[in-house]
Structure 1
Amino acid sequence: MKAWSWDRYGPPDVLALKDVGEPAIARDEVLVRVRAASVNPYDWRHVGADPKLVRLSVGLRRPKPGLVPGADLAGVVERVGDEVTGLRAGDEVFGEVRLGSFAEMVAVPQNRLAVKPARLTFEQAASVSMAAHTALQALRDVGRIAAGQRVLVNGASGGIGTFAVQLARTFGAEVTGVCSTRNVELVRSLGADDVVDYTRADFTARKGGYDLLIDIVGDRSLARLRRPLTSRGTLVIVGGIASGRGRLLGPAAQVFRGALASPFVRQRIGTVHWKPNSADLRLLAGLMEDGRLTPVIDRTYPFDQIPEALRYIERGHARGKVAITF
């Protein structure tokens, strides 16, 4: 089968399309023939070891041999391990792996898959898992969102942000999205009650009005991010698409700053520890079947142009997700 791999860290050009053997599956895994994937900042950060902290998991001096990048996927089950229940050959599924989805076939733990909603294309389904999981867990598990709250999403037009706006609305919140001028109408169409164009106004000047702030961009200090919150409001640090380029910790630096500051302020400061799981995938699938949640896809690239897709998303201006077709 064909798979993308890399033997040194660097820009997307270090990726090479190779012929490799079909992956073996463990007893609790499913072999999926990939029909679509999507790209995330997670992917280019691994390929480029940016931040350098990434090297601890994929190789200190160079990537470990045989690694394949990519997390999100949708496809068709080829076969299942002996301990797998509820899935069988021929099922259409979606989900994610830690690494490996930029290949024609991939072994996926059963607890990271769910049946694909019938109304979604493979490209749409492949655009869900990492971004929607992160948005859901930021709002529900860390942010403890409740109906009637006022929620602000900084980075509302990106992959995570487009899901966060829609999910906050399903929880019954009043949502404000922050984005650039060209994305104002998109964010409004997703259900945002208010949209702040950051090129024209500073959302951190809105003092004390929000119960929950989801920061996806990482381009403001903690002190400024706390300003729009009520005295008992919650700041959730998702990561930092715009922060930490070329540094040791990258966006994790903001996470550590939040953890250090949290005991000394009245407001809550939390961080999403992304936990993919099939239960949340099934919840998201139900929302998509009902039409309450829709993946936003900026553009689609063919499998043989994955480096170009990574270059595009690395620039940080994608509207929603970028999908890969096989």
Structure 2
Amino acid sequence: MKLDVDYDEKRKIRVGTSGRVKFRIRDIVVEPGKPVSLKKDFDPDFTGGFDDKAGALQQVASNVQRLSDMQEMLYAQDTYALLIIFQAMDAAGKDGAIRHVMSGVNPQGCQVTSFKSPSAEDLDHGYLWRASKALPGRGMIGIFNRSYYEEVLVVRVHPEFLAKQKLPEKTLKGDIWGNRFKEINNFERYLRQNGTIVLKFFLNISKDEQKKRFLSRIDEPDKNWKFSAADYEERTFWDDYQKAFEDMLENTSTDWAPWFVIPADNKWFARLAISEVVSAALEGLDLRMPVVDDKQKKRLMDIRGQLSTELD
């Protein structure tokens, strides 16, 4: 399948004074229909062959400005919406990535939704219901901090959560995960066909790096609030989650809504990669400021003339 946005060799991240090519965006995209092994295919410590952190952060700042400029056109054109989805294990850096990459975006044109445990009202509807309510409108950027993908991740790792969803017995006896993959793909195809661009980022952190960040949250008083015993308990299911992530990536990376596996052991590189992908996707839309027709221009000139003759 051909991706909607062509992340070919011409689209590469260049960092540092030399401008030397560091890596291709295609290096981190999950090819639709291809089997995924996180251990073999994606290195959490990958940095494109360089360690120019200062240069990377300069490029992030440049990309933030690009995003700000394109957001204005996205809003003015009022044709497309952008939905950005983040999934990851705890401490992978989702919140920091959102904060840094989207720092230059106008808050009036952006909304962030964090999906916690479903409420009683949520459980009385299908699992896509609460996500549908939070979708961005045309001209807007929506960010999902976790998403409906929890339904094929945490719910899969913890079957007791599935039991609370009051599903028909026939559904429970069928291939529920395969069916949900198909439903999600169809949902995202519907979004794409109606003007919502879906970008999906899996922040791929190693188990060792997660351990370091957990210890930092415990040892540094200012970070204590970030840590909960539940985070540690979920760590004991690491292998189960890795398998669930692999199945998710393999079955739901499509040409209309691809997954990007972001190396997350180095936060600076993760932010660089995310900012470049978002910029590339928006640039691929060929956004333009609306141009008024001759009739509208004449009306504007008439109003200008009337304003010019008004007495102060």
Q: What is the TM-score of this pair, normalised by structure 2? A: 0.31
- Structure (1/2) with the larger strand percentage: 1
Q: Please say which structure displays the higher CA radius of gyration.
A: 2
Q: What is the TM-score of this pair, normalised by structure 1? A: 0.30
- Structure (1/2) with the larger helix percentage: 2
